[in-house]
Amino acid sequence: MKIGFEIHEQLFTDQKLFCNCPTNYRDVPPNTNVCPVCTGMPGSKPSSPNEKAIDSAIEIALMLNCEIVVDKSIYIQRKHYDYPDLPNGYQRTSLPIAEDGELEDVGIREVHIEEDPGKYDPVQGKVDFNRSGIPLVEIVTDPDLSSPEQARDFLNTLIRTLEYSGRVRPEPSTLRADTNISLKGGNRVEVKNINSVKGAFRALKYEAMRQKRRKEVKRETRAFMEGQMITVPMRSKEVAEDYRNIPDPDILPIRIEGEKVEKIRAEMHEPPHLRRKRVIEKYDIDPAVADVLVTERGFVDLFEAVTDEVDPRFASHWFKDILRKVLNYKDMGPEDIPFSVDNLVELLKMVEREEITPEKGELILRKMVEDPKNPKKLLEELDLKAIDRGKLVSSVEKVIQENEEAVRDFRSGKKEALNFLAGQVMKVTEGKADPREAMNVLEERLDE
């Protein structure tokens, strides 16, 4: 089985690729962030290409280990086909700006930039051009993947790498993928209309199955129907065979200088697989823990920010087991964290020095994501609500008095009775007791 991808992601710029329109297309009513250029009005002419878009594509290509095309004229082509979301009847797309890269043993054939079409709802028959003209990076892989599972993992790695670059739009799912799949010796089938990793996985699984069943697989382009999780043939009218590409006469070709590439290379972020490696070596942490740390660049950045003052191994486990859990529960990313690094360091130190229990630490953390104060202050606030030792002891004695049967059961060896009694202590103290402390006091008293 041979699987390859053509992946599109939106680049993170303030203006569109060939005009000055804003790029926040989701925040405004339909057809608001538009102008004569991105709506294909008669007589409209493109502006020169957005420099940040080109720089972003170069950086992404470098993260994918590509060779950048330097000192050569790179034409912006017109790729002609008829579709409602294409206001000019052609899409402006550049020739490769980079070639011959690699990610996790999958060949990256080339990287180029192109403009996003508008948003067409094929079922309702309506078009919104807010998105039209936003710069996209397209990454074309070699057909080096050999299973839908491998393809899914690869896509996740690729998306993470793009996230690390900081050069793609951070909003969710701007990913669009076309995939191609062929079974041994058979024809290649292309599948379009995939908008998620899950979708890619399902499309490939369906296609693999469909192709296996057929004696002869026709070479064609199919569309993935997300709802039904199947692929259907796209009418040949919708799939242009000859795009009649010409260099766009309105746009002078791009030339990338070696100097610019080196500058970008020097300033760019480390890709995730290298970050993971370095973090494991530098801090001597478990690979499995490192895997969790590098899921988002902001997360591992935060980790490295605390390692000056807190033991890295301890911090790494805490990040994996507790911080990650709390963030997931609150549906937050590292960029949403309201408290400062100092606050976090403070909290970690408190737990590291055993000034507070890990459970209390988690409680404070949960408070801190909503109320970003100094953790010592939050501890005070929590403890005020907690009961003092005297009250705890009298509560324990009360519970022992009132639950003679359970006490006898415990003394005769039934360990579960202790849990029952502990539960009663929590009930009596209205949950304000520290569970561990309560248990200690109980055990003490029962020993007598």
Among 105, 123, 213, 384, binds other proteins (CB under 8 A): 123
Which two three-digit tokens encode residue 151?
A: 């393809």
Per this entry, what is the length of the chain? 448
Of 278, 282, 283, 303, the residue nearest 293 (C-alpha)? 303
Of 309, 269, 312, 268, the residue nearest 293 (C-alpha)? 312
From the list 237-245, 289-297, 365-373, 382-390, the region that binds other proteins by CB under 8 A is: 237-245
For residue 333, state whether it binds other proteins (rule: CB under 8 A): no
Among 1, 34, 177, 285, binds other proteins (CB under 8 A): 34
Among 68, 204, 223, 417, binds other proteins (CB under 8 A): 223
Instruction: Write the single-letter amino acid at 389.
Output: R
Of 162, 131, 208, the residue nearest 59 (C-alpha)? 162
CB of 81 to other proteins, least distance (A): 9
Of 179, 181, 177, 178, the residue nearest 219 (C-alpha)? 181
Among 30, 107, 298, 372, binds other proteins (CB under 8 A): 30
CB of 139 to other proteins, least distance (A): 21
For residue 218, state whether it binds other proteins (rule: CB under 8 A): no
Among 7, 10, 25, 46, binds other proteins (CB under 8 A): 46
Which two three-digit tokens encode residue 407?
A: 């006490």
Q: Which lies closer to other proteins via its Cβ, residue 122 or residue 258?
A: 122
Which pairing describes strands 76-80 and 67-68: parallel, antiparallel, or unpaired? Answer: unpaired
Number of amino acids touching other proteins (CB under 8 A): 70
Q: What x-and-dash track marks residues 48-77 binding other proteins by CB under 8 A?
A: xxxxxxx------------------x-x--
Which two three-digit tokens encode residue 281?
A: 């070596």
CB of 51 to other proteins, least distance (A): 4
Q: 261-280 burial, b for 16+ CB within 10 Å, e for fewer?
A: beebeeebbbbbbebbeebb
Q: Which lies closer to other proteins via its Cβ, residue 165 or residue 424?
A: 165
Q: Where are the beta strands (DSSP E) in 104-201?
A: 106-115, 119-121, 126-128, 135-141, 176-182, 189-194
For residue 199, state whether it binds other proteins (rule: CB under 8 A): no
Among 185, 249, 390, 413, binds other proteins (CB under 8 A): 249
For residue 166, state whether it binds other proteins (rule: CB under 8 A): no
Q: Which lies closer to other proteins via its Cβ, residue 30 or residue 107?
A: 30
Among 2, 80, 210, 366, binds other proteins (CB under 8 A): 80
CB of 110 to other proteins, least distance (A): 19
CA distances from residue 68 to 71, 109, 167 in whole angstroms, order as listed: 10, 12, 17
Q: Which lies closer to other proteins via its Cβ, residue 51 or residue 430?
A: 51
Q: 198-234 burial, b for 16+ CB within 10 Å, e for fewer?
A: ebbbbbbbbbbeebeeeeebeeebbbbeeeeebbeeb
The binding site for other proteins (CB under 8 A) comprises 13-15, 19-23, 29-36, 39-54, 73, 75, 78, 80, 82, 84, 87-90, 120-129, 223, 232-235, 237-238, 242, 244, 246-247, 249-255
